[in-house]
Amino acid sequence: MAGPRGDGGDWPLSLPSESPPDPPPDLSPVLLPDPPPGRPPADPSKERGRSVATKERAKSARPPRFKVLLYNDDYTPMEFVVQVLEHVFKKSPSAATQIMLQIHRGGMGVAGVFVLEIAETKSTSVQRMAEERGYPLRTGVEKE
């Protein structure tokens, strides 16, 4: 029976002598020499062909903020004002009471600070709630 080389030889094949395998590549980090005195160190981000090109994102300006003001009157009950502050402006009961007292003593108070659309929506909903119950509570929106 003939071997795989067709010469009738037996297994295992004898291979021609080979040179020893190459050593694995050196994967240790390359240390760059220190820059000469008086010269700043090289900035790796400015080297060509070695860094990833990135584009700086422009900072978008924050939208202007607006205060929602509640004005004091002699007819709207304090409990209603606290209720409005808790439900519409999501204030805690103690924070709502503090703001209500500020409105009562100072003539007006800041219920919250929001972007314009949200401030107008909250102001309108407070006026609608007061109107449904027959209270003359006034609100306003003013730039912060």
Tokens of 68: 């929602």
Mean pLDDT by groups of 10 residues along the chain of 144 residues: 54 57 67 66 59 76 96 96 98 98 97 98 98 97 96
pLDDT value for 79: 97
Of 127, 57, 143, the C-alpha closest to 88 is 127
What are the strands, taking DSSP E only, across 11-137? 65-71, 108-115
Q: What is the pLDDT of residue 77?
A: 97
Angle, CA of 21, 27 and 33, to the nearest 5°: 130
52-66: b (≥16 Cβ within 10 Å) or e: eeeeeeeeeeeeeeb
For the record, the structure tokens of 90 come out as: 């999501």
Q: At what angle do helices 78-87 and 116-133 cross, to 10 degrees?
A: 140
**Which tens digit of pLDDT belongs to each residue from 5-44?**
555 555 555 555 566 666 666 666 666 666 667 666 666 5
Give the 3-state secondary structure of residue 109. strand
- pTM comes to 0.60
Q: Which two tokens stand for residue 19?
A: 């040179």
Burial class of residue 100 (count of CB atoms within 10 Å of its CB; 0-12, 13-18, 19+): buried
The rounded distance, in Å, linking the Cα atoms of 62 and 27 is: 48
CATH T-level assignment (fold) for domain 74-143 = Ribosomal Protein L30; Chain: A, (3.30.1390)
- pLDDT number for residue 143: 97
Say how many Å lie between the first and final Cα of the chain, rounded: 99
